[in-house]
Each structure stands twice: as structure tokens, then as C-alpha cells.
Structure 1
Amino acid sequence: MTTKELLQSFTEYLQIERNYSAYTIVYYNQDIEEFVLFLGQQSIDHITKTTYVDVRLYLTELYNQKLARKTVARKISSLRSFFKFLMREDIVHDNPFALVSLPKKQTRIPQFLYEDELDKLFHVTDTTTPLGQRNQAILELLYATGIRVSECCKLQLGDIDFSIGTILVNGKGNKQRYVPFGSFASDALELYIHNGREELVKQASTSTNTLFVNFRGNPLTTRGVRLVLNELIEKSSLSVHISPHVLRHTFATHMLNEGADLRTVQELLGHNHLSSTQVYTHVTKDRLKNVYMTHHPRA
């Protein structure tokens, strides 16, 4: 089989057996194709001829490019998975990436917004207009639930249960979870659904059950949500960076600051591993230290 055919088989395996998202598969393919180009530069005509020496040379090339450790780790992980698949299919007998250790990721404190910054954001939207009602509903829901922007854009009208204040979220790998939302998000959603959304969908040529729509009445994209948030920042005159993920970080940080336990926040965020949620404890510890240093008489 040619390298192209092997990559196609691997893509089908990721789609069907592993149920990976299209976004993840694109990165897997890019990482493998870049490695194939590198092998060509080394006069190696087929990926199955890769040796551990070739892998070490490739790692040197990656480090010379001064790539972030996170990027290097992802590329190694992609290639390791690919060769593991080739071993499973009896196409190769060993995995040249098996002994390569992943570089330790840099620990970055997640960026989040303080309550006064959020308060400014919540008061800049003109909720007398359909788009204003939609934008307010997006902002309130993202902060109230901490859902990912992709999850937000996939929400359907039937996913919202106002009687008990929860939404059904379709997360990564098609895993579903229920996430509660509060009264502010509930009020914003009801206003949008019964007023603004009804006006917006009149512009569309086909009907849709997608919760958030654009000015043409069609489903709103993740890029559209980011543009909405950028517009709100400009109106609020805040100098901070904001994105859907910053609101997700803010949700998690505020929950932990107010005493929520880590397992609950993990479940609400849809994290598979507790380690993904633990990064937010660094934020709360830093906050506790700052409060102590500011207010203790002998700090």
C-alpha cells in the first residue's frame, strides 16, 4: 500500500472506530503528511521504512523550528498513534515512536475575567434588537455553563429544558451531559427564543432547530460567536482579550473560587480526566495568596 492509502485507512479508523472529530483528524493528517515530507528530504521513499534514527533526526528538526512544546507533543502523539495502527494491521513490526518521550507541557495559568469585567460585558448589549437579544443569550449561556463554543453552536431548541434549568450538551466524541443554568441565562434565552430568534429565522429560506442563528436566520458558526464576543469587548471599552474559551475558564475559576468541588466542575466542563480540570486550582491558589498578601496585617 502507498503512504496515501495507509493514511486514508488510518483516517477511516479514526472516524469509525475512534469516533474522533473532523477537527482532530485534520491535525492528525497534517502531522503525518509533514513527517512524510521530512522523510522525502532524507531520501526515504516510504513511511514504513522509518527507523528510530529517523525519528531522532525529525525531533531535532522540530526543536530547531522552535515550536511550542505542546505542538511537538501533539505531533509525536499523532505519529505514535499512526504507527500503532500500522502495527495492528501487521504492516510494520515495531513503532519507532514508542520510545520517544513527550516533552513536558508548559503550565499556563488560564486567562479569566474578574466579576467587574463581566459586569461591564453584560450591560453593553442592546436587548431591544433581535441580534442584541441573541448576543446577550450567548454571553449569559457561555458564562452560566462553561460549555465549549462548538457545543454552543450545536445546541438545538429541544436541548433546553426551562422547567428544570438544564441543557443537553453534545460534547467531544459525541458524549452527552446535562449542564444546569441559572436565572439570568434563563431570562436571556427566553427573550431571545420568543422574540429575537423568531425575527431572525424569517430571513432564512429553510427552517432550522439550531438555537443560535445569524442575521440571515442560518445556524451560527463558531467564528460567528467569536465575532460577537469581539464586538461586545469593543462596546465595553475593556482592554482584555476575550474568547469563548476565556468564558469557559472564567466559569470554572469562579465556581472553584466560590467553593465548588473539583469533581463537580470536571463533570460540568465535560473533561475526561481530572488533570484537565486541576489547572484551575492554580488560579484559585494564586487568588488566595493575593488576598492574603493584600489583607493580612503581617503579610
Structure 2
Amino acid sequence: MELVWSTEDLKIAGRPHPGFPILLWDTMESCAPVNQFIRHYLVRGKIGSKKSWPSTGRAMYDFFSFLQAHELDWQDVNRGEAKTLLAGYRDYCLNECQLKPSTTRQRLSYVCSFYEYALLQGWVRRLPFEYESRAVKSMKGLLTHVDASGGMHATKNIMPRSHRTHPKFLRMDEIRALMSVVKNPHHRMMIHFALQTGLRRAEIATFPMAYIIDPDKLTRNTRNIEIHLDPYDGYGICTKGKKPRTIYISRKFLSILYRYVVQIRGERASLTDNKHRQLFLNHFGQPYADNGKRIERIVRELGKRADIKVYPHMLRHTYATHTLSRLQKSSGKIDPLVFLMRQLGHSSIDTTMIYAHLVNELADDAVLAYDDELHEYWEAA
């Protein structure tokens, strides 16, 4: 029996729990095995970051909603010639819901882990998927000579093929357009900060004011200033994976940040009696909650005013692309990719390499003046 579905089929009653993703679904008799799996999968550290827990719960809820809508049994793994449960769910995600292949792959990875756990528990007799060999990008680096994979990798056959897309970044004319619509000095400083440092949204939201020092107290020949981002120093910076790292900012930009702290930030800080440590505060004088989700909305709304699709992580890509381009065209002794990898906090140079492809898209010589132009917009505001 083939799977047939429509959007109307998925009007399912019941909602997932909003907090810890234990799936308390009164409408689903199969919730007990899922609850047991999630406790095992999450609490035992299968996913290191608790921020990823809700996505696991949502993926499982969505899959079982799909099954219930079509009156399918999750234990029906021996379907013969019929389309497997996971293949049907995959096609539904891609064709009906128009989800990105990456999103579909993430959901399916959780579902596959559930079935692997179910097999160990004896709830099913076999897995509803098989493995096949697919070509992958060959490994480069120190251990290249011991790679015996032949460029092939065992992959679950129900997974949609992945096609790597390059991250999007803003060109200089788009940066100008975005900066021109930012009237709020606090929002303007946040965007400038993101473009000058490449920090992640959560890092911007939790960046401590204590890291900003008076540049006049530094020696005159100091051009670049080291700032150590340490989640364990008591100031509250939230880096990815709680990994400390050192970033560099120019003396000129440090002067801009210091003026912001002295002349502008106090306006918002005075709205509350609490002395908050974060550099950026919301319109209530409070730190941005939930790792800066409000910052996400602010940047997207400003982008709409400038008729540009932009979000905080795109500002990070913009910093990385233009900085790499500038470093590659300079005569310095530093390795551009290594510097950028450390600045961005990447654990592998392969992640940073993606920006080398983006640099080729920059044909305008104006990118050489990226840093100076940003300062011009700031000074003219």
C-alpha cells in the first residue's frame, strides 16, 4: 500500500510540551516509547547542547503526527514493496511542506536514531532503512594518506542528498543601504558591532561591558586590541560550546565602542536600578533574553526597511567574507584563513574555507576599504 497524503490530512489535535521535549500527547498511544527514547537520547548526552533539545521533540512529534494522520503504525517496518514509513515522511517534508533538504535530514536523523533505539529494545525486528555508499568530498590534511574510504561514505538510503550552499553575505552597497535606515543608536551600534567582530548572536547579546576599555590608556602604537572571550571569567559571555577564544578589534573601533558606553548606553542603563554587565540592553534597560532572539527580529525588521533580506548570522558571514578578502590582498605575514578561523571560533579550518569561495564573488575594489567605510558611516551618523 502506497502512502497518500495531503495538507488537510495533518490537522492533528494536541500540542507538544513547550519546555523539555517529553512528548505528552494524549491523542497518541505511541508516546510512551518516544518518551523513553528522548530521555535516553537527551539526558545521557547524545546532544551536548540543551538548545537542541526542543528540535528533537518537535521532529518526533511531527513524524508521529504524520503517521497518525495516515493511520500508520510506527512498528510497521516490514512493508515489502510499499514505500517505507521514513521514505513517505521524507517525501512529505520535501514535497508537501517544501522544507529544505537540510531541515528534512535533521528531522530524519532523529527519527532514525529512534528506530535504532527501538531495535535495541526489541520493539521492532528490523530498521525501516538501509545503508548505501555515496560519494563524499575527499579528506584533506594531515591524515589524508590513511583515508581508505575511496571517497565513499555509508549513508542511510532515505536521506535526501545534500547540496552544500554558500552562506550569504552583504556587499558594500547593501551595507550602506542597511546602515542608512538604522536611526536607533543602540541598534546601529549592534549592527556595527556584528560587522566589525563577526560574533554570533548569543555572543553579541551577552558581550560584557567590562571588555571595553579606554583606548587612551593603551600605548599609542597599539593598533589591534586583544579581547579574551571567556565564559568562565564571571562576566557572562556565552560562546558556542562554552569555548574561550581571543578576538582582535582595531583601536579605532574600540574608541567607537568606548564612546558608546560613556555617552549613549547610560540612557538605557538608567531605566532600571540593576547594574547589568551586558554591553547591549533592550528598550527596558534589560539584557536581551533567550540568547538575543529579539536581536534577530530587530535585524530582520531593519533589513525589510532597506529592502534587504538580512539576519544576524548573515552579518557574521559578511564580516568573514570581507575580512578574508582584505587579508588575502595585504602583504602581512599572518595566514588569513587561520586568523579568521580563530576570530570566528571555528573548530576546523574546513568550516572557514567556505569563505574562500565567497571572496571570489567580490569583484569591486571597494572591498579593500571595508573597515574604513564602516567607520565613515559611523562617524557621519
Does the TM-score normalized on the shorter chain lie above 0.5?
yes
- Which of 43, 54, 72 is 2:104 aligned to? 72
> What is the distance in 1 between the residues matched to 2:163 and 2:240?
24
> What is the distance in 2 between the residues matched to 1:158 and 1:87?
52
- Which of 46, 49, 64 is 1:20 aligned to? 49
What residue number does 1:277 align with?
352
Residue segments in structure 2 that go unaligned for 5+ positions in a row: 1-30, 132-155, 219-224, 230-236, 329-334, 366-381
- Which of 36, 42, 58 is 1:30 aligned to? 58
Cα offsets for 1:39-89 (capped at 9, x unmatched): 3345455x5665683223333333432432122111122223444555677
User: Does the 8 A contact of 1:7 with 1:29 survive in 2?
Assistant: no
Instruction: Give the superposition deviation at 1:98.
Output: 5.9
The alignment covers a number of residue pairs equal to 280
> What is the distance in 1 between the residues matched to 2:40 and 2:247?
34
Q: How does 1:205-220 map to 2 (within 5 A)?
A: 205-220=273-288
Q: Over aligned residues, Cα RMSD in angstroms?
A: 3.5
Instruction: Give the superposition deviation at 1:27.
Output: 1.4
What letter corresponds to residue 144 of structure 1 in structure 2? Q
Q: How does 1:101-140 map to 2 (within 5 A)?
A: 101=157, 102-119=159-176, 121=178, 132=185, 134-140=186-192
What letter corresponds to residue 175 of structure 1 in structure 2? K
Instruction: Give the superposition deviation at 1:160.
Output: 4.8
What residue number does 1:265 align with?
340
What residue number does 1:176 align with?
244
Cα offsets for 1:252-287 (capped at 9, x unmatched): 111221216333323322233444333322222233
What residue number does 1:294 align with?
none
> What is the distance in 2 between the residues matched to 1:220 and 1:92?
46
* Larger displacement relative to structure 2 (67-76 or 261-270): 261-270
Q: Using a 3 Å threshold, how does the CA distance of structure 1 residues 91 and 195 change in structure 2: closer, same or farther?
A: farther
Instruction: Give the superposition deviation at 1:175.
Output: 2.5
Q: Using a 3 Å threshold, how does the CA distance of structure 1 residues 57 and 117 change in structure 2: closer, same or farther?
A: closer
What letter corresponds to residue 19 of structure 1 in structure 2? G
> What is the distance in 2 between the residues matched to 1:43 and 1:112?
45
Q: Using a 3 Å threshold, how does the CA distance of structure 1 residues 273 and 10 change in structure 2: closer, same or farther?
A: farther
Cα offsets for 1:84-108 (capped at 9, x unmatched): 5556778777654563243233343
> What is the distance in 2 between the residues matched to 1:141 and 1:263?
22
| Secondary structure at the counterpart of residue 286 of structure 1 | coil
What residue number does 2:299 align with?
229
What letter corresponds to residue 142 of structure 1 in structure 2? A
* Larger displacement relative to structure 2 (253-262 or 51-60): 51-60
Instruction: Give the superposition deviation at 1:136.
Output: 3.5
User: Does the 8 A contact of 1:112 with 1:253 survive in 2?
Assistant: yes
Q: Using a 3 Å threshold, how does the CA distance of structure 1 residues 171 and 77 change in structure 2: closer, same or farther?
A: farther
Instruction: Give the superposition deviation at 1:30.
Output: 0.8
> What is the distance in 2 between the residues matched to 1:89 and 1:271?
38
What letter corresponds to residue 267 of structure 1 in structure 2? R
> What is the distance in 1 between the residues matched to 2:197 and 2:247?
6
Q: Using a 3 Å threshold, how does the CA distance of structure 1 residues 63 and 239 change in structure 2: closer, same or farther?
A: closer
Q: Using a 3 Å threshold, how does the CA distance of structure 1 residues 184 and 74 change in structure 2: closer, same or farther?
A: farther
> What is the distance in 1 between the residues matched to 2:248 and 2:206?
17
User: Does the 8 A contact of 2:167 with 2:317 survive in 1?
Assistant: yes
| Secondary structure at the counterpart of residue 245 of structure 1 | helix
> What is the distance in 2 between the residues matched to 1:77 and 1:10?
16
User: Does the 8 A contact of 1:76 with 1:97 survive in 2?
Assistant: no
> What is the distance in 2 between the residues matched to 1:171 and 1:78?
25
Cα offsets for 1:226-275 (capped at 9, x unmatched): 454356557xx744333212211111111221216333323322233444
| Secondary structure at the counterpart of residue 266 of structure 1 | helix
Q: How does 1:31-50 map to 2 (within 5 A)?
A: 31-41=59-69, 43=71, 47=74, 50=77
Higher relative contact order (CA 8 A, sep 6+): 1
Q: How does 1:66-105 map to 2 (within 5 A)?
A: 66-84=98-116, 95-97=127-129, 99=131, 100-101=156-157, 102-105=159-162
User: Does the 8 A contact of 2:93 with 2:104 survive in 1?
Assistant: yes
User: Does the 8 A contact of 1:11 with 1:25 survive in 2?
Assistant: no
Instruction: Give the superposition deviation at 1:143.
Output: 1.0
What residue number does 2:201 align with?
149
- Which of 254, 263, 271 is 2:322 aligned to? 254
User: Does the 8 A contact of 2:212 with 2:254 survive in 1?
Assistant: no
* Pairing 1:200–2:261 present: no
TM-score by length of 2: 0.61
User: Does the 8 A contact of 1:149 with 1:225 survive in 2?
Assistant: yes
What residue number does 1:5 align with?
35
> What is the distance in 2 between the residues matched to 1:180 and 1:238?
30
* Pairing 1:58–2:89 present: yes
